[in-house]
């Protein structure tokens, strides 16, 4: 099971802060495709992805227990 976190506008689009997805062995890119089929996440492709709190690539492979966070363009400061 992969824990998926949404923030900012993606959280509002998904209607949830956190979902668990059966996605062991999928790549980040494949997870995104799966999420887009379930949720209305038009801006998902504008987000960066973090796996276990580090920025990752589209082809990073996921394993059970990973925390995947989608990070829309940041605006701190």
Partner 1 sequence: MDKKVWLTQEPIDPNNCIEKVTRNEAGAVNTFIGTVREFTKGKRTLFLEYQSYVPMAEKKLAQIADEIEEKWGNTDTAIAHRIGRLEITDIAVVIAVSTPHRADAFEASRYAIERIKEIVPIWKKEHWEDGTQWIGDQKENTSYDKKIPSEEEMYND
Closest separation in Å from C-beta 23 to partner 1: 18
Q: Yes or no: say if 48 and 10 are a contact pair by the CB < 8 Å rule.
A: no
For partner 1, the binding residues (CB under 8 A) are 5, 7-9, 11-12, 45-50, 53-58, 69, 71-77
Closest separation in Å from C-beta 12 to partner 1: 8
* Distance of alpha carbon 64 from alpha carbon 72, whole angstroms: 24
Token pair listed for 69: 């966070």
Q: Return the number of the residue (17 or 24) whose C-beta is nearest partner 1.
A: 17
């Amino acid at each position: 099971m992969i824990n998926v976190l949404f923030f900012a506008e993606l959280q509002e689009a998904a209607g949830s802060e956190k979902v668990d997805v059966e996605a062991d062995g999928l790549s980040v890119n494949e997870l995104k495709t799966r999420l887009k089929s379930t949720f209305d996440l038009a801006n998902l492709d504008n987000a960066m992805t973090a796996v276990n709190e580090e920025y990752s690539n589209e082809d990073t492979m996921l394993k059970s227990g990973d925390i995947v966070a989608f990070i829309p363009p940041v605006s701190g400061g």
